[in-house]
Amino acid sequence: MSLEDDARARNVRSAWALSAPALLILLLAAAGPLLIVAVYSFLSPGKYGNVEWVFSLDGWRGILFTKDIFDDTLKLADAHLTIFWRSVKLSLLTTGITFLVGFPTAWFIATRPPRARAFWLFLITIPFWTNLLIRTFAINEVIRNEGLFNTVMIKLGLFDTPLRIINTDAAVLMGMTYVYLPLMVLPLFAAIDRFDMRLLEAGYDLYASRWQVLRRVILPIVKPGIIAGSILVFVPSLGAYVTPRVLGGGKNMMIGNFIELQFGQGRNWPLGAALSMTLLIVVMAALLIYVRAANKGGNGHG
């Protein structure tokens, strides 16, 4: 081995030695708890919570099926499927609405002068200064029966009685849209800020309509920002707990609330662990789709 190879090997060993503490912390703090949850999903539930160290697939089977209390026959868990569908539906709707609101907002900010742009970005980031629970209760104060919205509508004579919004899917959707909107605006702004505005003039010179310029010029170029913003909104929306709990009440739970229920009142830790791992798998699949789409977008405009 030459001196150069020997020096390179020492550098590699030194790098691994220096990074070993951080890797150990990541292993214990991240991979360790996930491993425990994965193991719990293959065990039997205890009588008063916790688990019994007996191998069982009941946790994974309970995601889609439930046993009849009389003859132990399996049937589809309709309530579970309803919660899954509500979680996916509200997450997709939240992603779509934040895009429809966030895209023109990001375009407006990106086309302002530099000083004004900094001011508008500052306003977008203000919600991050407060706790998620506080922001959710703020929305609750606006849309509840005696809240700001209904009070103004009644005084204007538009409604005779308060419009019931709280404890519905619409309330959860409004809350998540408000909470996660900045996560859509910021990636879109970053993508639009790099957009060459001369391409708009080129499109108009070629007699393209505004819709054609948007569809064939703007959207393909800012596609990485759209994908990044969609992932940043969809992933936390799918596992949301606080917003559905405060605005949806106990009847409009999402998968995050359902998982908490299994570890709490339900006392079925294996089912809760299996649901947690299922949520993790869905999130990983969404991230893989994002990576593939981003790579295709980068190759197309590289």
> Could you tell me if residue 72 is inside a domain?
no
pLDDT score for 40: 93
Q: Are residues 42 and 183 in the same domain?
A: no
CATH number at residue 206: 1.10.3720.10
Q: Are residues 161 and 26 in the same domain?
A: no
Q: What is the pLDDT along the chain (302 residues), one digit of tens a residue?
A: 566 777 788 888 888 888 888 888 888 887 888 899 999 999 998 888 788 899 999 899 989 888 777 777 788 888 888 999 999 999 999 999 999 999 999 999 999 988 888 899 999 988 888 888 899 999 999 998 888 888 998 888 888 888 888 889 999 999 999 999 999 999 999 999 988 888 888 888 888 888 998 888 898 889 889 988 999 999 999 989 999 999 988 777 899 999 999 998 888 999 999 999 999 998 888 888 877 776 765 554 43
pLDDT score for 1: 54
Q: What are the b/e assignments for 133-144, b being 16+ CB within 10 Å? A: eebbeebbebbb
Tokens 């919660």, located at residue: 83
> Could you tell me if residue 192 is inside a domain?
yes
Residues 161 and 199 sit within 8 Å (Cβ to Cβ) = no
Q: Are residues 125 and 183 in the same domain?
A: yes
> Could you tell me if residue 11 is inside a domain?
yes
pLDDT score for 297: 57
Q: Are residues 84 and 156 in the same domain?
A: yes
Q: Are residues 181 and 284 in the same domain?
A: yes
**Which domain covers residue 27, as residue numbers?**
3-67
Q: Concatenate the DSSP letters of all residues of 149-205 into one string.
A: HHHHHHHTTS-SS----TTSHHHHHHHHHHHHHHHHHHHHHHHHHT--THHHHHHHH
Q: Are residues 142 and 230 in the same domain?
A: yes
pLDDT score for 103: 95
| Token couple for 68 | 């009849």
> Could you tell me if residue 191 is inside a domain?
yes
- Of 41, 67, 93, the position where a domain reaches its end is 67
pLDDT score for 298: 55
According to DSSP, residue 67 is labeled E
Q: Are residues 146 and 274 in the same domain?
A: yes
Q: Are residues 163 and 58 in the same domain?
A: no
| Token couple for 24 | 């150990």
Sign of CA dihedral 145, 148, 153, 154: positive
> Could you tell me if residue 41 is inside a domain?
yes
> Could you tell me if residue 258 is inside a domain?
yes
Q: Are residues 59 and 186 in the same domain?
A: no
Q: Are residues 248 and 100 in the same domain?
A: yes
Please tell me the total count of domains within the chain: 2
Q: Are residues 188 and 56 in the same domain?
A: no
Q: Are residues 15 and 94 in the same domain?
A: no
